[in-house]
Structure 1
Amino acid sequence: MHNTSCLRLCLTIMTVTGVWLPTALKSSHLRHIYYIFAFMYHLLFVLPIIFMEFAVFYQVLGNIEQMVDTSLLLVTHIAQCVKVCVMWYKQDEIHSLLMTLDSPTFTREDSNKKQILKDVIQTTYTVSKVFISLVVVTGIFWGIYPMLKPTLCLPIQYPNIPPEYKIFPIVYLYQIVNITLMGIAIASIDFLVGALMAILSAQMDILSYELSLVGKINNKDDNANTDIRQDYLIIISCVKFHENIIKFVKDLEKIFGFPVFFQFLTSAIIICETAFRITDSTETTELITMMFYFMCVNTELLMYCYYGDLLKRKSERVVEMAYCCNWENADVRMQRALLLLMQRAQRTLVLRAGNMFELSMMTFSAILRTSYSYFTVLNERRKLKG
């Protein structure tokens, strides 16, 4: 099982939605055909929707309720454009990260270490299926609720086409397909980052496990020199392994730092507007749709923050495991190598968005508090106007 096998669903979706060039096409002439496909896909399916949303938003300026309705998807799709641009601009670097993750540096033959990775990979893959399914259900509900209104309208109410026009069903279907495809494309990119952090946290568990083996592998050997040599080799291997993890985290932050930063900035607005729509909804289907959308947005944000927080806690555990190993019976050379590892591990491994926001549960809580503050302001303005 490859470390990146948990990414197969999101990579497939990104390939279909014109975001990800498959590895098999990277050195093939067919890659030019895929470039054309990706360009045409975004030209025909992504940009028109964003243009419609901008047009509607311009028309309803000054009306709080209608501005919230329109900007809800608009802000989401702008964040998507930022992520897609970064994915294409950093495509080679991301390919390199995935290849590194499947290289011998981050794979292990030991059964216990393989089991640690296997458990994380299977759990992460299950999370991807649940998250994508949630987005698809949200897209379906988004297509259903306009049909249940007293007056049938488009999910994105632009252009203003009466239901009796023959082109109306085509535009209706076009918008629903677009909303769903754009939603799963966004979810796939978000999951890619979250899954990479989850795998890195598993690597930290493996590092802690390797440190726990110091002084235990050859403790029945009559040759003490063999024991010392084996322990020294383990610690040197751990030092190199730790440095490789640190480098991977820095590369990951360098690639995705800005889009995650932009996502955090927009998440407070999106959560606020979704909550506003929920409290303003009078129709059951619309309320359910907004509840599903609210869950999607929070899951998206939680994925970044939870896995970032998990990686942080796993990195803090490395110092503890290094201290708890049998270093007191080691020679000076081994103790120095272990001290080097502990000194570096004392600097907690943290991913930051734009060098400002730390990916942690504290940041998640801060964004929710900010969203509630925005919601309170919007709600007060609605009451004053009412």
Structure 2
Amino acid sequence: MLTFHEIIHEIRKFGLEYCDLPTMLENVSILLRVLTVNIDSKYKKGITILSYIVTAVTAACFYYVFLFSMTWFVFWRARITGELVGAMVVLSLGISSEIGPFKLFYMCYYMDKTHKIADGFLECDANTIKGTRFHSNLMKCLRNVKKRAMLYWVVVAGNGVLYVMKPVAMRGRNLPENYFLIYGLEPMLETPNYQIAYFMMIASVFFVCYVPASVTAFLIVITGYAEAQMLALSEEMLELWSDAIQYAKTQTEDTSEELDVYNPEVKVIINQFVERRLREIIGRHANVINLLNQVEIVFRQAIAIGFVLLVLGLLSELLGKLENTFLQLPFALMQVSMDCFAGQRVMDASTMFEASVYDCKWENFDKSNMKLVLVMLQNAQKTMTLSAGGVRTLSFSALMSVFRGIYSAYTALRSTMK
């Protein structure tokens, strides 16, 4: 049994005071265990019964409300009543809510690989020596990564809270979405149907928001760590020559302010140091590429499906009129936009590493180290990316292309809604 101070300490670990990778993955692991998903291969305590009950109840409500009832309302009930706008509103809810569960499905389907990814990143982090410049730069970047994950989680979860609290700000008896009819609960505003429907809506929205918030937080952390590694390695490459000079000064008896780098003995010391550091950086770079490729294998199909659902969901939201769907819009946008943002940040960090390799003063190295730098440059020129199904690279340009396509489809279909 945890004491009060231990509980407070565990809660504080979710804040910005603790930005190291093991703590961030532990935070995400705790969030995912509520959904009965364990990404920590070393955690052997098991999942609590309460988590199984919460997941079973909320998932059952979600699939009944946002899948079965949505399908019934859109394709049968709305056709009879002629509620075309209402059908679009309900359809947008159903489509946008499926993005997170697909990511959760692929995470669970590839659970062995998910464990391998988490363990691989932790092993990579364990090889970092604390107190070094590399570790300091890494932690600075990881602080921004944790801010990103926290902001995403709060926005998505907060969107759900606002959605279920919307009836409180409205006059009379209302539901979060009055257009929505849950199958078997008509009339919806009569007791006890109203109470049952409201409970099912709250449970469904919990599942709808908690799943993408927690699963995508895992993605943000691991891709953010890859980004942080590349940025820290970039700084190491830029400082490589000056580090070699400083090392040579400590290994020679030369007391002059300016070290003679053309001295044969000094040259050997400098190039031995440079070779050792280059091999370390090459190893880290290769490890990060390998880990990111594993992330791509697990999540690329889920991200591709998310893109398709985003297009259909946003199109439905626009056709359902923004005054009816203003709370659904940021929910769908935030999910896929964060995937694109993470992909763009990885690309930017990879490009920065490429530039730093060329700018590492390689012209001062011996031929052997020049060859190593050339190999590094060739590898660095293959920009690290994340993709949607291996078809489209996740980036801001991809997101803008999707938005343009959605707007074009909306302008073409808008006339049919009048």
After TM superposition, the score normalised by the length of structure 2 is: 0.80
Shift of 1:369: 0.8
Letter of the structure 1 residue corresponding to residue 94 of structure 2:
L
Correspondence for 2:190 = 164
Give distance in 1, aligned partners of 2:412 and 2:167: 28
Which residue type is aligned with residue 124 of structure 1?
V
Return the alpha-carbon distance in structure 2 between the equivalents of residues 121 and 314 of structure 1: 13
Q: Which residue of structure 2 lines up, in the alignment, with residue 248 of structure 1?
A: 291
**Counterpart for residue 66 of structure 1:** 86
Q: How many Å apart are 1:271 and its aligned residue?
A: 2.0
Maintained 8 Å contact 2:20/2:139: no
Q: Is the 8 A contact 1:215 1:231 kept in 2?
A: yes
1:186 aligned residue: 212
Alignment identity in percent? 16
Q: What is aligned with 1:229?
A: 272
Provide the rounded CA distance (Å) in 2 between the counterparts of 1:208 and 1:176.
47
Say yes or no: does 1:128 pair with 2:153.
no
- Measured in 2, the distance between the counterparts of 1:41 and 1:11 equals 21
CA RMSD across the alignment: 2.7
- 1:346 CA drift (Å): 1.1
Q: State the AA in 2 paired with 1:176.
A: I
The correspondence for 1:297, drawn from 332, 343, 360, is 332
1:35-80 C-alpha deviation (Å, 9 max, x unpaired)? 9658734653333222222222232247531221111121123333
1:294–1:137 CA distance, 2 compared to 1 (3 A): same
Asked if the contact 1:201–1:311 (Cα under 8 Å) also holds between the matched residues in 2, the reply is yes
**What secondary structure sits across from 1:215 in the alignment?**
helix
Q: Is the 8 A contact 1:13 1:188 kept in 2?
A: yes
User: In structure 2, which of residues 71, 96, 102 is the aligned counterpart of residue 76 of structure 1?
Assistant: 96
Shift of 1:187: 2.2
Contact 1:311 1:349 in 2 (8 A): yes
Matched, 1:17 2:39: no
- Are residue 358 (structure 1) and residue 393 (structure 2) matched? yes
Contact preservation (8 Å) 2:344, 2:394: yes
Whole-angstrom CA distance in 1 between matches of 2:160 and 2:360:
52
Is 1:55 paired with 2:72? yes
| Structure 1, gaps ≥5 residues long | none
Counterparts in 2 of 1:121 and 1:317: CA distance versus 1, 3 Å? closer
1:330 maps to a residue whose letter is: F
**Counterpart in 1 of 2:342?**
307
The higher radius of gyration belongs to 2
SS state of the match for residue 181, structure 2? coil
What is the letter of the counterpart of residue 99 of structure 2?
Answer: A
Structure 1 residue 115 corresponds to structure 2 residue 141: no
SS in 1 for 2:189: coil
Change (3 A) 1:41 1:334: farther
User: Using the alignment, how far apart are the partners of 2:40 and 2:172 within structure 1?
Assistant: 49
Q: By how many angstroms is 1:26 displaced?
A: 4.9
What one-letter code is carried by the residue in structure 2 that aligns with 1:300?
Answer: Q
1:324 and 2:344 aligned: no
Q: Could you tell me which amino acid in structure 2 is paired with residue 23 of structure 1?
A: D
Report the Cα distance in structure 2 between the residues aligned to 1:133 and 1:32, rounded to whole angstroms: 24
1:359 to partner: Cα distance:
0.5
* 1:153-205 deviations in Å (ceiling 9; x for gaps): 56342132342323421331231232133212112222322332222111111
State the distance in 2 between where 1:144 and 1:356 align.
39
Within the candidate set 374, 389, 400, 1:339 is matched to 374
SS of 2:384's partner is coil
Q: Is the alpha carbon distance of 1:161 and 1:4 closer, same or farther for their aligned partners in structure 2, counting shifts above 3 Å?
A: farther
1:331, 1:46 → 2: CA distance?
64
Alpha-carbon distance in structure 1 between the residues aligned to 2:409 and 2:128: 46
Matched letter for residue 53 of structure 1: M
Contact 2:301 2:388 in 1 (8 A): yes
Measured in 2, the distance between the counterparts of 1:32 and 1:272 equals 40
Q: Which residue of 1 aligns with 2:15?
A: none
Residues in 2 aligned to 1:149 and 1:379: alpha-carbon distance in whole angstroms: 31
Q: Does the 8 Å CA contact 1:21/1:34 hold for their aligned counterparts? A: no
Structure 1: distance between partners of 2:348 and 2:316: 32
User: Could you tell me how far apart the structure 2 residues matched to 1:125 and 1:313 are?
Assistant: 18
For 1:331, give the aligned amino acid. D
From 176, 189, 198, the equivalent of 2:224 is 198
Moved more, 216-225 or 197-206: 216-225
Matched, 1:216 2:242: yes
Which deviates further from its counterpart, 40-49 or 73-82?
40-49
- In the alignment, structure 1 residue 152 sits paired with structure 2 residue 206: no
Provide the residue aligned with 1:140 in structure 2: 161
Per-residue Cα deviation, 1:78-103 (whole angstroms, up to 9, x for no partner): 33332221111112211221222122
Aligned AA (1:268): V
Q: Which residue of 1 aligns with 2:408?
A: 373
Show the 5 A alignment for 1:89-104: 89-104=109-124
Q: Secondary structure at the match of 2:385?
A: coil
Q: Secondary structure at the match of 1:161?
A: coil
Q: How many residues align?
A: 373
Query: Is 1:382 paired with 2:410?
Result: no
Q: Tell me the alpha carbon deviations over residues 115-161 of structure 1, each in whole angstroms, 9 at most, x when there is no partner.
A: 32222322222233332222233223322444626663563421323
**Equivalents in 1 of 2:108, 2:51: separation in Å?**
10
Distance 1:323 1:124, change over 3 A: closer
Residue 306 of structure 1 aligns with an amino acid whose one-letter code is F
